[in-house]
Every structure is written in structure tokens, then in C-alpha cells.
Structure 1
Amino acid sequence: MLWAGCTALGVVVGVLPLAADTARAGPVPTDSLGRTDPAHTDVLFVGAHPDDESSSLATFGQWQERRGLSTGVVTITRGEGGGNAVGTEEGAALGLIREGEERKAVRRAGIRNVFYLDKPDFWYTLSAPLTATVWNPSPQPPTDTLSRLVRLIRATTPREVVVMDPRPFHQHGGHQEAARLAVEAFRLAGDPTAFPGQITREKYPAWKPSRLLATNGGFPGPVGEKCGKYQAEDPHTGLPVIGVWTGTTARGHSGRTWAQIERDATREYATQGFASLPPTVETPRAKLPCEWFTVLADSRTPRTPATREQPGLRPLYADFRAWARRMRMPWLANDAQPAYPANPSTSVPAVAEAPVVDGVAGLGEYPGPALRLTHWEGARCADEKDCAADVRFSRQADDLYVFVRVADDIEGYALDAAADCKRHWRTDAVEIALDPQGRSDDTSTTFKTGILPFTKDGRGPCAERDADNRQGPASRTAPRLAVASAVTDPYKGYAVEVRIPLDGLPAPADPERLAVNVLLYDSDTADRTGQTRLAWSPFGSAQADPYVWGTLRLLGYASPPDQIVQPARIPQEAARSSDSTASVEQARRTGVPLAGGPRRPRREG
């Protein structure tokens, strides 16, 4: 590998074998009696949350079955910030449930060891820099997560490291940051000057894996058995891409394909709604796809792909390009920033009298145009009765009024307003997102509210804030927010009306740059999973990317001169490995300390 010499990183040309040859990373570590080190794994996957490995389990299962290659999984958080489709648990309690789901899922692919780093998971963000600050809060050093990953590579001595896609667009910031850290740990684990105490005090070896792969779920390769032999290059980076066919029949599994076994594993993630996936993979075997991996680095036949510079990068993309350059992999930033479409815009009329927040658009309350919400994600609406929505705005003094009218044919699950007014995307809901200055790079400096138009036992609407400057029930995080809804009987849809005090936003609202998106979540089931999403500005991760949001011009508005900028409050609660019986038993069995922490120095003699 060329990294050790601090020169350009090499990558291999062409299609590679499914996994590294044994000789490439030296002999498998053994103890004084010749027994294999119980911590050793041939392949190490690094993800951010439980279920991140789920789309690669068909590959890992085949590698073990056909080549005898073991896989271990590193999961940096336990997904405490995710949804819960089966209960009301959140935070650390949810994290421990998700650990149990992950351990059951990966065992179906023959994976025994999952190493958790006990880092906090918060909400869905597109920002790797924000994720890095949450994972390494003061007084921890900013390299704390990195040092733990380096230690785990040295402890588990893998030949291959598999990471997620580090590229920033339409990609969870946790996934990005996990991939960035794993790429850097791949480089540093073999350098004895990197975190030297792990070598001198803890007696880990400096270990250099032979190959680095990144999952490439968006690669448009062929399907069918031949996809595994398809010679391909990633269209953005020029790096080689390899495929592993999911239609291979698993041995000793009654003729089931690895695609079916992976589906069985994925359905273990009930909290994430994956149990609602069809139990049987209906795709004909001849049309089953490959799982694709980009070869980021290999110890053989190196070359350097071409680098294409993009001008005018926005801050998140400029940060990624700077990281790629530091890693001596500048080609990873090729085409990283997409061609964003023009942002929609509208003027918000001021009204003399404040609208009555009652779920009805009264005469003269919303004199502006009705703005259409269009398809963003999920299944498209079958027709206007299936799902459709528009939004209107008006302003009176320091209050912004929003009226959303929704056509819908089937009521989603009615959540409990008292115990479960959160994670609104699980059922029918409206989300309103505002970036006061129109300059945010992530949603920690924005105001976002999710509104359930109906709740359990006919208790009416409820509102919460999620993935923004504050999170939690609106009664606590936005006490002056007013919400009302009107649900048709018989059910044909609903309307939501909201008053948002502009002087309660995280920063003063710029009357020329206030950025807004309005989103609709449509669910036609009772299993707390959504099917269709609409948005006023429907591009990429429309709920999480302020670069996408439209602009509201507040005619005649001036923000209060004494309004302050509020610092973000982001959850730091994380489940601990010491509270997990499975993690404690694994640490005893493998000798790898909990949470990737340091081990006690070995006594001499």
C-alpha cells in the first residue's frame, strides 16, 4: 500500500477477487499454542447505526460460506436517534433494543462479533462535520472515535475493511463520518507512529489491511448472475467497482438465495419498520441484482484516477473535498456537489387581522397563492384522491401563518399524543422547516416542526420539533406555537393550520432570505411506516438539506432588534456496552475491551 510512504494512494485496475488472499496481510494471528486469535476477523465492516450492514449481508454470508472468510461489524452508535415502529422507547433504551436486532440479523449471515463504540446517535443530518462534534464532545479529544477505530483494526487484524459511501449528497451525515473515519483508520492502523500507546502500552500490532472497499448502492450495474463478473468503473471517481450476486443459492438453506436470507435478516429490524417488508423476495432469481462495492484501495497494481475540480462548492462539499485531499484521494470529490435546481420562492403577504388557527382557511386569511407540493420520495400518488397537498402563507406582525390542505384516501396509524408524539414520518404528517437566515449548512440552526393531524382516541393534532435547533414536544420546545387541524368525515384528507412566532426562531428572520420547506408524509398502513412523501422543494434529502429549501420574502417585515441567536441543543444520550449482556460476553470471549476502549497493559514475564 502506498499510503505508508506518504505518497499518493494506489488503487487497482479491473475486477478483483471477492476477497483478499490470505498471504497479502501476513499470517492469521495466533497465540503461543498456535490457536487463532479469537478477536481476528478477515473482513471488518464499519457502519454508523444498527442496520447499516444490512444491504451487504448477502455478500458477507457468501464470503464466509465459499471462501471461509469471517466478517466482524463495527457500529459506532446504537441508533438512539432513530424511529421506533414497535414501541415508545427512545434514547438509550431504544439503542439496546436495536443492538439486539442487529445481533440477530447479522447471525443469519454467520457474523458473530459486533463492536459498538458507544457514540451518541442524534437525528438525521447530512453533515459529517456536525456528526463529528457530537461523537467527540469536549473534554474528549476530537480524535476519540478515530483512535477507537484504529484500535479495533489492530485488535481484529482484518485483511479487508468495508466502509459506507463517504460522499456527501443525499447521504446521512453519520454514514459519511463513519466512512471518513474508517478510511483514515485503514491508513493509520499500520503506522506505528499513529496512536503509539496502543502499540507500546497495550501491545497491539501495527496492522495494515490489504484492501479498502466502499458500498456503492447507487451503482447502475446489470442484474443477474453475470453481474458478479461485470468489469466496471464508478462513473464519478473512475475507481473499479466489483459486484457480488445476491441470487447465489446458500448452502444448507433449503435452496434459498442469499437475497432471501438477507431479507430475513433485514426484517429483524422491526423498530425501523423493516418488518413490514414482504417476507419473500419475489424478484425472479435471474433478475436479482449484485451488491456493489467501490475499490478505494488495494495493495496490487496501483494507479491514480483523474481528478476533476468543481468550482463554487458550498461549505459541506468544500469540507468533503478538503478531507479527500488530506486522505490523498482527491478523486473521491469528483462530482460530489450535484447540480442543484433553482430554489422556489414566493412572497408572503401581510394581513391586517391575524388568522384564526382553527384548521380552516377563512376569507382573506391567506390571500397569497396556493403552492403545490410535488412527489419527493417513495411511491408516487396514484391520483389526486390518493395523496395531494398545497400550502399557503401569510404574516401578521411577528407571526408566520401556514395553512396546508391535504387530500388523502386512507388514514395512517394514529399515534398516542401523550406518549408518542415524535418521529412524525412514521404516519400521516406535515413538516414545516425554516432556516431564518437562509444560510444554514445543516439543520442544527433551523426550526423544524412535525405535526400529526390526528392522534389516538380522537385527541386531535400534536406537534413536536425534530432534527433542528431544539427537539422535543412543542409544548416544551416551542410553547408559543399554535396548531389546529380539521379532518374530514368521512375521511378524504385533512387541513393543518400553524402559527409560528418568527421571534422564536433560532436567529432573526431575514425578510429577503428566510428559507422554507413544507413536506407531507403519507402512510396508508397501520404498521407505522410511511409510503409517499411530497415537498414544496423536492430534491435530494429535502427535509434535511437547507440548500434545497425555497425562499419566503416577508413583505414589510423587520425582525426584533433584541432577538438573539440560540445555540443548538443536540441529544448526547447513548446506550453503553457495559449495560449490554451480549457486549460484555463478547468482550470476555474476544479479549477486545468494551466500546473499543484501551486494554490494560500486559504484564511482562
Structure 2
Amino acid sequence: MRPHRSLLALSVAAGLLGSGLSAPPASAAPHRDPAHADVLFVGAHPDDEYQSLATFGQWKERRGTRTAVVTITRGEGGGNAAGTEEGPPLGMIRETEERSAVGLAGIRDVYYLDKPDFWYTLSAPLTGRAWNRPPRRPDDTLERLVRIIRATTPYTVVTMDPRPFGQHGAHQQAGRLAAHAFRLAADPGAFPRQIAVEKYRPWKADRLLAQNWGFGGPSGPRCEARPAKDPRSGLPVVGVWPGARSRDGRTWAQIERDAARRYVTQGFGSLPAKVTTPPERMPCEWYTVLARGGRPVPAPVRAQRRLRPLYAEFRDWTRRAGMPWLANGAQPAYPARPSATVPEAARAPVVDGRAVPGEYPGPEVALGHWEGTPCAPADCSATARLTRHRDDLYVLVRVTDDRQGAALDARTDCKRHWRTDAVEIALDPGGRSDDTSTVLKAGILPFTAHGGGACAARDADNHQGPAREITVASTVTRPYTGYTVEARIPLALLPAAADPERLTANILVYDSDTGDRTGKSRLAWAPYTGAQADPYVWGTLRLPGYVPPSGRPPRSATLPLDAARSADSRASVEQYRRTGVPLAGGPRA
């Protein structure tokens, strides 16, 4: 069965394929299907679309183009700058934020696939396994997305960059799924029950675009008309200028900022209310053209050699997807790992947030800036010392800081430490991990509310939750000029036996400088992109004389996989009644 479209819709689409993004295909007017969208955005979390809202708003105002959004999770695993909710309750709050934000760009429909958001990872494969965990089939999320494309019949699909380096694994996986679903939705042999039983028709969308946040194109109104190519993939890049003014006189950049500030739980409420960048200095919102006329846009393939496992997996995926050029330059030129020797102390240090002579006989290592706002030494700088006593690793971190961040409640909120001043210690027992599900990561708050001291929790690692077996203490200067954190980490807590020659680690400091639970600057011993979540970056710790006890087999990861449900969302249920698209992209009765 061929996809059905009106001649008007086909002619409009064909005439605009080569004209950039300023005038996307519009609806065949009037379009009677309440579920139809001219543009469908596919993201992983609420707020993933916000840096494209100036684009979607302009398209609607100029041509009446309808955009809908697919959000695969509700962001249950993210931080919360507005309260202590987490898991499904946080997901419901984030749905409300998203619907409010996208409404400013004229978007009414947001479809959730009810997949779990577990924590920040840089691994698309780990994300895929979590989204399709048993008893779900390995293609469950893909099937749901294909169904929504067939239900909403978009001409243009916009998604996230599927490339792996330096971005959330859930963003990568959303881009991968969108690329597959874009192709499979037109194939009558793909998920045939949707056609034979549910009475959907195959649907061939015209264009597939991927957000390209890192593209360094020109600024100002001419950026829309300038032909450009992505330097890595070789694919065309097109843009929409947010400096254009809407009918109410505001720039679309300002409307997008107003929308972003609706995402209060993610700290976006602290963004300045007014956009002060002159319009002529605003760059476009850039999109890589992955497919045109329903087919991938080809580009030269430049194969990389000696790929690490995560990047080899991505290369293999691009070949299966028919877009091998996306793997061009995907693996960065990682710098040499730093290294340090951790001597054994004659006596166990006293964990009290202080270092007395002899407790830490090894050298002091400095932490460097790796993300966020660069800062002077008096603003944020740090050093660390490490030692071992028997089967315990001791870490002491001294931090210089000019302004104290928010004090969180140790009883209810000792988690997601990156929201305020904090220290993080990450340990990969064998130095072979491809993601952090096989490592230990402890986040330590040096001070807490109600005069409390330090507290620690594990996050984004093999086993999240309170870190009761990790002993922590701190001292905080008065008047405030910084703090010292000290920790004892039993090596028995690692997901596998520590290899005394291959153990890798990173030590990180988060600097907030604000009381609104948002971060500003980040430091690390191994200060390269992805320092907190990319084990390929971490430095080597050598433990001379250490022999791990026998009988420590690797432990499987436990991920928090509770997801909010569309059936429990009044807005989602009302949308289903209006559009007829089943909740969570499920089968149509």
C-alpha cells in the first residue's frame, strides 16, 4: 500500500525541499486529521526541544505549520532545582513544564513513550537496553515511534544528533530511533500489524533533520541563506535565525528564552529574563540534513581506525542505518590519561576533613577546568591527595571557593550533587568500562542544611542510592573561602576487584556560586569533555603492593527504571481523546 497524500501536499513538499528551513512544507489546508503534524520533533527528555522552539514558532507563524513533539521519557532521572521530587513524581512535573513551554511556540501535542529516564550516561547502547528491558521486545521503543509517525503523518522529522561524543546517551538514542523510524514508517513490511490490524498506512516523510548544537556557522540574518556543510559528516547544514521578530514584536530568541524559563526543575528559571544579545550577533539554530526526499543524503566516508568499543558500536550502527558518513570523526583524539601512584599509609587516616602530617604520603594532584564558566584560582580551584590503607582508598580534596552554594537537606536531598558545591569521586576497577554502569561514583556534599556536615550518595553508577558504607567528613572555612572533603572508600564496594595496575579514576569539583541549585564551573583531575561520565577520559591510579582479595566477581548494574505513565496524566489522556493517538504510542484498538 502506498502512502496517501493529496496532490497539493506533495507539490508543496517537492517545491520546498531545496529551499532551506525558512519555509517548510505546510499542511494541505484544511487538514481534517486532528493528529496530523507537518513537523514531528523526537527528543529524549522534556526540554530537549527548547533550543528549536524559535524555529518551530517561526514556521507556525509564517506558514501555519503544525509541529508536534515526541518525548521518549519524562526525565525522571534528572535533577530538580525546585523541590525534592524524583522518579515518576518529577516526571509528571516535567511534563507540565514541557507542555507549558512548547505552547509558547504554538505546539499543542506532546506524545510520551513512557520510557524510563535513569541517570546521565554517555552510552546509547545502555540507554537502549534500559528503554527496552524485558519483558519488552528489543524494538519496543522503535515500534512505538513508527506508530506515532504513521499516526501524525509529518513531512519533516526533526531529532537530536545521534553522534556519540560528549552528549547524553539518551539524546543519541533518540536520534538513532528517529532515523530508523523515519525509514521504517514507509515500509509496509515493518511492524505489519500496525497496518493489517490497527489500520495505519505506511507514511513516507520527506526530510529528516538533526539538531546540530555544535556547528559554528555565521551569525545574523544571513545565516539562513548561507550554504554550509558539517565539517565532520560532510552533510549539508541549514539554519533558522532566531533574531527575526514575531508578530508581537519580540524576537523569537526572546520567546524561546521565555519558554526555557518554564523548565524550572532543570534550573532554567535562573536564566536571565531578557535576551541581551543583539539580533545581528545571534547565530542560527542549525540542523544537519540527514535525509531529503525520504532518502539519506550521501556524503564521503572517512573511516577511523583503532576505535574504542563505544565508537565501534556507533560505526556499526551507522552502516545498518545506511548513513556510514555519520561515523566520520566520531571518536575524538583523546589526550593521554593522567596517572598517579597511590602509596600505602602506615596507619589509616582519620576521616575528619583534615590532613595531618603523614596521613597522605603521596603527591598532591591539581584539578583543572573542564566545563562551565572558567574561573580564577580564588573563585574555584582544587587539589587532591590519595592514599591506601589495606583494602580502603582514602581521598582528601581541598577546594578554594569564593561563594557558597545552596545547602541541601542531608535527610531528603543528598543526591544529584552537581546542583551545588560538591566533590565527586569516580572509580573504574579494571579501567575497561565503556559507561558508568560498571564503575563506582560517589557525590559528596561538603555542607548541608540546618548546620549539617558532609553527606554522600552514589549516582549514575553500578548501584545508586545512599553511600552509607563510604565514610565522609568535611571542614568548611569561616568566613567562607572554601572547604576540604575527606572520604574513605572500601575497595570492596567497587563493581569488580580493583586492578592495582589498571584502576582508573576521576576526581571532580562542582562550583555553584548561587543559591538556586544550579552549577557554574566544573573542575576535574582528568579535565576533558565528558569527564564525569566518560571512563575513557579518566586517569590511572597505581596501587603498589595491593593484592585484591579473591572471590570478588563483577556485579550487575541496578538502574532506577520507574517511569511515569501517560495513563496517570490528565493532559495526556485529554490529548488522546482529541487526537486518537493511543497513550505511550501503544497499539490502537
- Normalising to structure 1: TM-score of the pair? 0.93
Name the residue aligned to 1:3. Answer: none
Counterpart residue number, 1:107: 103
Which of 398, 403, 422 is the equivalent residue of 1:405?
398
Find the counterpart in structure 2 of residue 487 from structure 1: 476
Q: Does 1:154 align with 2:150?
A: yes
Q: Give the Cα–Cα distance (whole angstroms) in 2 for the partners of residues 163 and 285 of structure 1.
A: 26
Contact 2:89 2:564 (C-alpha < 8 Å) held by counterparts: yes
Letter paired with 1:546: P
Cross-structure match for 2:439: 446
Which of 118, 129, 132 aligns to 2:128? It is 132
Match of 1:86 in 2: 82
Query: Could you tell me which amino acid in structure 1 is paired with residue 349 of structure 2?
Result: P
The answer as to 2:52 corresponding to 1:56 is yes
For residues 581-600 of structure 1, the aligned pairs below 5 Å read 581-600=570-589
Paired residue for 2:272?
278
The amino acid of 2:374's aligned partner reads R
Give the CA deviation at 1:367: 1.1
Q: Distance in 2 between matches of 1:490 and 1:230?
A: 54
Q: How far has the Cα of 1:448 moved from its partner?
A: 0.2
Aligned in 2, Cα 1:229/1:360: closer, same or farther, shift over 3 Å? Answer: same
Aligned AA for 1:380?
Answer: P
Q: Secondary structure at the match of 2:40?
A: strand
1:555 paired to 2:544: yes
Higher mean Cα deviation, 484-493 or 116-125? 484-493
Secondary structure of 1:390's counterpart equals strand
Distance 2:444 2:297 in 1: 52
The alpha-carbon deviation at position 566 of structure 1 amounts to 1.1
Distance 2:47 2:99 in 1: 10
Please state if 1:241 is matched with 2:234: no
Q: Does 1:256 align with 2:250?
A: yes
> Does the 8 A contact of 1:13 with 1:302 survive in 2?
no
Task: Give the alignment of 1:153-172 within 5 angstroms.
Answer: 153-172=149-168
Structure 1 residue 512 and structure 2 residue 501: aligned? yes
SS in 1 for 2:203: coil
Q: In 2, distance between residues paired with 1:288 and 1:514?
A: 45
Amino acid at match of 2:449: K
Query: What RMSD over aligned residues (CA atoms) do the two structures have, in Å?
Result: 1.4
Question: What is the CA-CA distance between 1:232 and the residue it aligns to?
Answer: 0.3
Within 2, Cα distance between the matches of 1:97 and 1:512? 46
Aligned structure 1 segments of 4 or more residues deviating by more than 4 angstroms:
12-15, 300-303
* Post-superposition CA distance 1:484-524 (Å, at most 9, x none): 10111111111000001112211000000100000000011
2:382 to 375, 389, 392: 389
Shift in CA distance, 562/301, structure 1 to aligned 2, threshold 3 Å: closer
Deviations 1:531-574 (A, max 9, x none): 11000001111000000000000011011111221110001100
User: Cα distance, 1:94 vs. partner?
Assistant: 0.1
Code of the aligned partner of 2:576 = A
Shift of 1:19: 4.8
2:42 to 43, 46, 54: 46
Between 298-307 and 154-163, the greater mean CA deviation after superposition: 298-307
1:472 matched residue in structure 2? 465
Alpha-carbon distance, 1:14 to partner: 7.0
Shift of 1:288: 1.5
SS at match of 1:37: coil
Q: 2:322 — aligned with what?
A: 328
Partner of 1:433: 426
Taking the TM superposition and a 5 Å limit, the aligned residue runs for 1:360-375 are 360-375=354-369
Q: Structure 1 residue 209 and structure 2 residue 205: aligned?
A: yes
In the TM superposition, residue 17 of structure 1 has moved relative to its aligned partner by 4.4
| 1:18, distance to aligned residue in structure 2 (A) | 3.2
> What's the counterpart of residue 311 of structure 2?
317
Q: Is the 8 A contact 1:19 1:160 kept in 2?
A: no
Aligned: 1:342 with 2:331: no
Q: 1:462 aligns with which of 446, 450, 455?
A: 455
Q: Residues 63 and 69 of structure 1 are in contact (CA less than 8 Å); yes or no, is this contact kept in structure 2?
A: yes
Cα distance between partner residues in 2 of 1:385 and 1:167: 37
Q: For residues 302 and 566 of structure 1, what CA distance do their matches in structure 2 show? A: 41
Establish whether residue 571 from structure 1 lines up as the match of residue 567 from structure 2: no
Change (3 A) 1:17 1:473: closer
Deviation at 1:35, TM superposition (A): 5.9
**What residue number does 1:353 align with?**
347
Give, in whole Å, the separation in 1 of the partners of 2:467 and 2:516. Answer: 25
Choose from 12, 19, 22 the match for 1:18.
22
Structure 1 residues 500 and 303: alpha-carbon distance in aligned structure 2, compared to 1, 3 A threshold: closer
Aligned equivalents of 2:23, 2:288: Cα separation in 1: 13
CA displacement at 1:20 relative to structure 2: 4.3
User: Take 2:19 and 2:488, find their aligned partners in 1: how far apart are those partners?
Assistant: 58
Q: Following the alignment from structure 1 to structure 2, what is the Cα–Cα distance between the partners of residues 246 and 591?
A: 33
- Range with bigger deviation, 149-158 or 292-301: 292-301
- Name the amino acid aligned to 1:316: L
Post-superposition Cα deviations, 1:173-198, rounded to whole Å, max 9, x if no partner, equal 00000110010000000000000000
Letter of the 1:164 partner, please give it: M
2:512 aligned with 1:526? no
Identity of aligned residues (%): 67
Q: Is the 8 A contact 1:13 1:301 kept in 2?
A: no
Kept in 1, the 8 Å contact 2:20–2:225? The answer is no
Change (3 A) 1:460 1:201: same
State the SS of the aligned residue for 1:588.
helix
Which moves more between the two structures, 14-23 or 168-177?
A: 14-23
Q: Which runs of 5+ in 1 are unaligned?
A: 1-11, 29-33, 601-605
Q: Deviations over 1:132-183 (max 9, x none)?
A: 0100011110000000000000000000000100000001000000110010
Change (3 A) 1:269 1:300: closer
Unaligned runs of 5+ in 2: 1-15
Give the 3 Å change call, closer, same or farther, for CA 22–277 of structure 1 in structure 2: closer
The yes-or-no answer on 1:294 pairing with 2:283 is: no
Q: What secondary structure, in the 3-state scheme, does the structure 2 residue paired with 1:415 have?
A: coil
**Cα deviation, residue 68, structure 1:** 1.3
1:306 counterpart (300, 316, 322): 300
Deviation of 1:15 after TM superposition, in Å, equals 5.7
- In the TM superposition, residue 308 of structure 1 has moved relative to its aligned partner by 0.3
